Structure 1
Amino acid sequence: MNDQPDSAVVEMLVELAGRAPSVHNSQPWRWVYSEHGLDLFTDRSRLLGAIDPTERQLVLSCGAALDHLCTAAAAFRWTADVESMPTPGAPDHLARVRLTHDAHPRSHEFDLLAAINRRHSDRRAFGPVPNNRIPARYPRRVDGVHDVRTTFLSAEAKETLATASRLSANVRKYDASYQAEIRWWAGHSFRSGGIPPEALTDRTESSRVRVGREFPEPHRIGRTGTAATDESTVVLLGTASDERVNWLQCGRVMSAFLLAATADGLATCPLTHMTEQAGSRALVESLAPGRGVPQVLIRIGAPMVGSPLAPTPRRAVSSVLSVATGSTARGTRKTLPL
């Protein structure tokens, strides 16, 4: 194991992985570094029980963090060998990453590295995807992630998505647990997560994006926008099955797609609310029959002109990364509790 990165490198990679999107910026992951490699676990203390009772979005979020880490590693000349679900009977142990210092990054890897810090979920209206962009090539970047199917939905399909979005909102309208949870995570922020009001939209602005989740209206936004109608393209990611490993793989592909689109100058926003309820999920599935179980949708398009969005808070590396006691990893500087 002499070629393992030292703890300073691992801390840097975990910090970049922490920029991944997660359900309501909950960042539900933790990492353990040892002589066996870098292990990814779920952090159940960050589970949104009313919004995500099956833990599907928790695992999707962790898959996105895993892809962010592998993307960052490649830019720093580390090849990441990922073993998914490495411990039978331990569903919280999602992946083990072994890093080898033999990668040969190309210019696009550095573009993706820059995209990690630029990417954010933009809930505002988008312009159409410019003609000189080819989003169909984005999913090809993920090697070895199987059974995730990407479908570009037509403009006409957005009417059905709007119906699915309304259906999801109506089901949740009088769900007190859901409403309390979303108000905790959205509309204010704390140092370790949450969606700040500056990252949300007011009622007028959100009404232009008919496929978006209904969030509490923020008290203050403090930016100017545009009255443009949303002309985004919506992409559907589906999986062959609806198991934990499928969710993890889908999260990786979601991350890959978002970073590629960001590197291409597009605005992005993942959408999960339409796949949370059986009725709305069935409507989404009807748009791409035979394309697998719908897991997440992504809006992409030209970013609107206006005030930039404020960055959302991220957990400190020290709160998500542990170095196992007795680790022989070269350069380990400190030991953190597991």
Structure 2
Amino acid sequence: MRDVAVDIEVITEALALACRAPSLFNSQPWRWVSEGAVVSLFLDDARAPRYTDTTGRELVISCGIVLDHFRVAMAAAGWKCNVDRFPNPNNRDHLASIDFSAMDFVTDAHRQRAEAIARRRTDRLPFAAPPDWESFIAQLSSGTAQGSVSLHTIADGSRPELVKASELTRSARRYDSKYHAELIGWTADVAVAEGIPTGTLLSEAESDRVDIGRDFPAAGHRDRRGEIAQDHAKVVVLSTVDETRDGFVRCGEMLSSLLLDATMAGLATCVLSHLTEVPESRRIVESLTGSQAVPQVVVRVGSAPSGDAIGSPTPRRPVADVLEIRG
């Protein structure tokens, strides 16, 4: 049975967890509306970075991540999400409407996947090589974006080309004042509900050991994870068959699946979007995938030392700020 009205407390708790989803500069560009038996997801780009993501592509991908996170959180609460994508042709910011069906049984796997949302962190530090990588990739769940989004692993021998792509991005934006002002503006020394705390950024010494990261302002803390002299992360690319909002949402959903699968496998992850923001670097990434699909996002996946703390969870906006309850 569909269109079952779910208790608003269940919806609120699921959204609190789902909104742990990563987004460009932790901008959280989403708005939710609960009305009757339906919960709707809207793109909210009012305060989002405009000079980093000039087309809004990364913001829609971020909304795809939160959509899949919400699906996972609701499943752990005993509800299947039935997603109607772009239900209003006159409002392309209305990304999805969701109604619910009661599940017969909630498995331990459902609960563990939801718990992975809370455990996942963006780890910008260098990684050791992930163990059993081929097995992990082979078992990687395809999420809900099957067919429209492809995943490619970049060969270790192609790492110098990725470094070149990262350097091209840096060169292309060296004198882009608005971009650099935005980059600094979205970092903060104190815990705030939006943006990136400086405690999660790298010091100069740490940056020297990660060769394909975005050039955030250097943090002034101690050198961490010094036992890893060089980043040995595996690199994967998510690509889409086209440049549509539907493709971006589905890419975000598959990215969510990848991040949660990695977290459940005990692996660390870092999403890199700067490599696809500049045409020259994006073309390099595309050539390394061996596909004609369009690269959307790059992800480092690796192993972090056991018990290695990378800081407190990055703050998020309260649910009351992103959820409107009607009726």
Superposition TM-score tier, normalisation by shorter sequence: over 0.9
> 1:309 maps to what in 2?
311
Show CA shifts across 1:64-83 (max 9, x none): 00010001111111001111
Show CA shifts across 1:7-64 (max 9, x none): 1011011111110010011111010001251100011223211001111010011100
- The residue type equivalent to 1:81 in the other structure is N
Q: Is the 8 A contact 1:22 1:28 kept in 2?
A: yes
Q: Is the 8 A contact 1:4 1:100 kept in 2?
A: no
Q: Is the 8 A contact 2:203 2:218 kept in 1?
A: yes
Q: How does 1:105-116 map to 2 (within 5 A)?
A: 105-116=106-117
Judged with a 3 Å threshold, the aligned counterparts in structure 2 of structure 1 residues 106 and 320 are, in CA distance, closer, same or farther, namely: same
Q: Is the 8 A contact 2:3 2:37 kept in 1?
A: no
> 2:221 maps to what in 1?
221
> 2:287 maps to what in 1?
286
Which of 317, 320, 325 is equivalent to 1:318?
Answer: 320
Measured after TM superposition, the shift of residue 190 of structure 1 is 4.8
Q: Is the 8 A contact 1:266 1:300 kept in 2?
A: yes
Judged with a 3 Å threshold, the aligned counterparts in structure 2 of structure 1 residues 103 and 237 are, in CA distance, closer, same or farther, namely: farther
Separation (CA, whole Å) in 1 of partners of 2:221 and 2:139: 32
Q: How does 1:113-128 map to 2 (within 5 A)?
A: 113-128=114-129
Measured after TM superposition, the shift of residue 244 of structure 1 is 0.8
Q: Is the 8 A contact 1:125 1:304 kept in 2?
A: no
Q: Is the 8 A contact 2:63 2:249 kept in 1?
A: yes
Q: Is the 8 A contact 1:81 1:99 kept in 2?
A: yes
Measured after TM superposition, the shift of residue 192 of structure 1 is 1.7
TM-score normalised by the chain length of structure 1? 0.91
- The residue type equivalent to 1:122 in the other structure is D
Judged with a 3 Å threshold, the aligned counterparts in structure 2 of structure 1 residues 2 and 157 are, in CA distance, closer, same or farther, namely: closer
Separation (CA, whole Å) in 1 of partners of 2:164 and 2:147: 30
Separation (CA, whole Å) in 2 of partners of 1:45 and 1:68: 22
Measured after TM superposition, the shift of residue 284 of structure 1 is 0.4
Q: Is the 8 A contact 2:144 2:254 kept in 1?
A: no
Separation (CA, whole Å) in 2 of partners of 1:227 and 1:20: 30
> 1:239 maps to what in 2?
240
> 2:28 maps to what in 1?
27
Measured after TM superposition, the shift of residue 97 of structure 1 is 1.1
- The residue type equivalent to 1:5 in the other structure is V
What secondary structure, in the 3-state scheme, does the structure 2 residue paired with 1:311 have? Answer: coil
Measured after TM superposition, the shift of residue 270 of structure 1 is 0.6
> 1:336 maps to what in 2?
none
Measured after TM superposition, the shift of residue 307 of structure 1 is 3.8
Most deviating of 45-54 and 273-282: 45-54
Most deviating of 132-141 and 96-105: 132-141
Q: Is the 8 A contact 2:153 2:289 kept in 1?
A: no
Q: Is the 8 A contact 1:138 1:260 kept in 2?
A: no
- The residue type equivalent to 1:52 in the other structure is D
Show CA shifts across 1:85-118 (max 9, x none): 1110311111111111225333222221111000
Judged with a 3 Å threshold, the aligned counterparts in structure 2 of structure 1 residues 304 and 213 are, in CA distance, closer, same or farther, namely: farther
Separation (CA, whole Å) in 2 of partners of 1:78 and 1:117: 19
Separation (CA, whole Å) in 2 of partners of 1:174 and 1:250: 31
Separation (CA, whole Å) in 2 of partners of 1:111 and 1:132: 21
Measured after TM superposition, the shift of residue 289 of structure 1 is 2.7
- The residue type equivalent to 2:256 in the other structure is S
Measured after TM superposition, the shift of residue 204 of structure 1 is 1.2
Separation (CA, whole Å) in 2 of partners of 1:142 and 1:157: 27
Show CA shifts across 1:108-148 (max 9, x none): 22221111000010000001111277221454241354310
Q: How does 1:327-338 map to 2 (within 5 A)?
A: 327=327
Q: 4+ residue runs of structure 1 moved beyond 6 angstroms?
A: none
> 2:90 maps to what in 1?
89
Separation (CA, whole Å) in 1 of partners of 2:4 and 2:24: 35
> Is there any run of 5+ residues in structure 1 with no aligned partner, and where?
328-338
- The residue type equivalent to 2:295 in the other structure is P
Judged with a 3 Å threshold, the aligned counterparts in structure 2 of structure 1 residues 174 and 132 are, in CA distance, closer, same or farther, namely: closer
Q: Is the 8 A contact 2:79 2:103 kept in 1?
A: yes
Judged with a 3 Å threshold, the aligned counterparts in structure 2 of structure 1 residues 317 and 279 are, in CA distance, closer, same or farther, namely: same
> 1:179 maps to what in 2?
180
Show CA shifts across 1:309-331 (max 9, x none): 2211100000000011xx2xxxx
> 1:204 maps to what in 2?
205
> 2:63 maps to what in 1?
62
Judged with a 3 Å threshold, the aligned counterparts in structure 2 of structure 1 residues 223 and 12 are, in CA distance, closer, same or farther, namely: farther
Separation (CA, whole Å) in 1 of partners of 2:104 and 2:146: 19
